[in-house]
Structure 1
Amino acid sequence: MTTTVLLLGRTDAVVGEARQRLVTPGIEVLGGTGIDDLRSALAGSRVDHVIMGAGLDLDTRLEIIREIFQSSDTTTVHMKDDASGPEGFQPFIRAVLSGLASRQLP
């Protein structure tokens, strides 16, 4: 079964670069920059994990979290710190996905 990950960031450039660098068998990577992209992704497919960059403003991040939790009881949410900057997005994504891959569910 394919795992669907939605990357959300402040700009298409940052998200696009992260998507290009994240080629992993069994993972479909979607991208977006805000609440409308999230809604579109949720309407079009099952989203297993949402990973948000820190470039999104707090109100947008909170709106995204609210939308996810109201729409799904299975989607996980992961929020990157601000201190590591845009260059920290890719390592954060890989760390989250690595942790999720090692998680054993019954």
Structure 2
Amino acid sequence: MWFTRTSSQAVKVVDIVDTFRLQEQPPFDKKAFVTFMKRFIKNLTPKLEREKQELFKKHIEGATKYLLSKLKDSQFFVGESMNDDGCLVLAYYKEGATDTTFLYFAYMP
């Protein structure tokens, strides 16, 4: 977190959101999030190398379950283009934390 100055007043902003010009999205309920994830998986899977597709499907199920457990305490962001077919960024505060934790999907070969 950092501060910027506008006129004579300091404005508190989350540096990741500000730097990457992330746009906050309305919160998801469980059904809408599952629908989003199904579409995300359907769109991404064919872009992976064939031998990586099954591994991706195996791990994304666990990730989705984990994210569902964080759903009510999360904020959701997309890039400046507002393309909801792109990557969704989740943000939440770990218990007792003062800084936001951001979760991103990443492909690790």
Q: Mark yes or no: TM-score above 0.5.
A: no
Q: Which has the higher helix share?
A: 1
Q: Which has the higher strand share?
A: 2
TM-score by length of 2: 0.31
TM-score by length of 1: 0.32
Q: Identify the structure with bigger relative contact order (alpha carbons < 8 Å, sequence gap 6+).
A: 1
